[in-house]
Amino acid sequence: MPMPHPDTDKVFAGSIPQLYDTHLVPLLFEHYAQDLAGRLAGRPCSRLLEIAAGTGAATRALAASLPADVGIVATDLNPAMIERAAAVGTARPVEWRVADAMTLPFTDGAFDTVVCQFGAMFFPDKAKAFAEVRRVLRSGGLFVFSVWDRIDDNEFADVVTAAVAALFPADPPRFLARTPHGYHDAAAIERDLASGGFAAAPRIETLSARSRAASPRIPAIAYCHGTPLRNEIESRDAACLDATTDAAAAAIGARFGSGTVDGRTQAHVVTVER
């Protein structure tokens, strides 16, 4: 059985959106954002919805690569993330909206394409969210989303999780393993899509990439300060965030060296037609 998601797993507030965008996006998301945009190149589309857009990594790639007449609506549950995304901006105008993927505020069949980069893991009821996606897709429309593979296949996240756990052995923070890397089973994804009303079999591709940073401290800050892992750390000891970040940086340095670091990442890209 999947572990329950604490409420803090969905809280991207305070300084997290800025740190997420400046550290985690270039570290992890940009390669997959370009891949996502490339998958839609040449496919007819007049209106596209992005859910769980975060600070806009995929939105920026989509806005830069899709034809100018494709309307893009980018949404996220967290106002602070959308505010950051809108402040950074895109190559052309898009519509930014705060919206919950569980109850999308759009009419039936309003979009040709729905995309979601690394957001489905946060949905408290995946089948319900997928049913909402299906509802707002026109017949024949396309749903493309990505989820991280297991944490063992994502080296920086794995090392940070182990380093943080060592500091809190009685109650180790497990956000990264539990949520971002907790929805990787292909059979579960297929079941949830079917429960959400998608009759077609999804195509699930596994995509590996490299995650690079100029020093071990960058991924340590990215994970410990720029994700809800911070909420877990501070809930155990509010004064321990910097010491925990130091421990994570030391562990990354021990594994990957003290200079430029390079780790493997791996994700699943899921494509299904309505």
Residue 99: phi and psi, rounded to 5, are -155, 145
Q: What is the pLDDT of residue 42?
A: 85
C-alpha 69/C-alpha 82 separation (Å) is: 22
- Residue 96, pLDDT above cutoff 80: yes
Q: How many residues can be counted in the chain?
A: 274
What is the pLDDT confidence band of residue 106, given thresholds at 50, 70 and 90?
A: very high
pLDDT tens digit string along 194-219?
Answer: 999 999 999 999 999 999 999 999 99
What is the pLDDT confidence band of residue 15, given thresholds at 50, 70 and 90?
A: low
- Residue 13, pLDDT above cutoff 70: no
Cβ distance 118 to 32 under 8 Å? yes
Place of tokens 């409420």: 7
Q: What is the average pLDDT across 27-35?
A: 93
pLDDT tens digit string along 178-188?
Answer: 999 999 999 99
Q: What is the average pLDDT across 77-96?
A: 94
C-alpha 255/C-alpha 155 separation (Å) is: 10
Question: Could you give the count of Cα atoms lying within 13 Å of 65 in the half-sphere of its Cβ?
Answer: 18
C-alpha 165/C-alpha 157 separation (Å) is: 12
Place of tokens 């999804």: 202
- Residue 135, pLDDT above cutoff 50: yes
Question: Could you give the C-alpha distances from 192 to 1, 124, 153, 166, in angstroms and in order?
Answer: 14, 12, 23, 34
C-alpha 226/C-alpha 18 separation (Å) is: 8
Helix axes 186-195, 126-136, angle to 10 degrees: 50
CATH number of 7-273: 3.40.50.150
- Residue 103, pLDDT above cutoff 70: yes
Q: State the chain's mean pLDDT as an integer.
A: 93
pLDDT tens digit string along 148-171?
Answer: 999 999 999 999 999 999 999 999
C-alpha 178/C-alpha 185 separation (Å) is: 13
- Residue 9, pLDDT above cutoff 50: no
H or E segment at 234?
helix 229-236
Q: What is the average pLDDT across 65-85?
A: 95
Which candidate, 63, 73, 12, places its Cα nearest to that of 36?
63
Q: What is the pLDDT of residue 8?
A: 52
Q: What is the average pLDDT across 30-36?
A: 94
C-alpha 96/C-alpha 122 separation (Å) is: 20
C-alpha 190/C-alpha 196 separation (Å) is: 10
Which candidate, 90, 88, 83, places its Cα nearest to that of 61?
90
Q: What is the pLDDT of residue 238?
A: 85
- Residue 2, pLDDT above cutoff 50: no
- Strands of the sheet with 203-213, listed across from one edge: 95-98, 71-76, 47-50, 111-117, 137-148, 261-273, 203-213
- Residue 1, pLDDT above cutoff 80: no
**What is the share, in percent, of the chain residues with pLDDT greater than 70?**
94
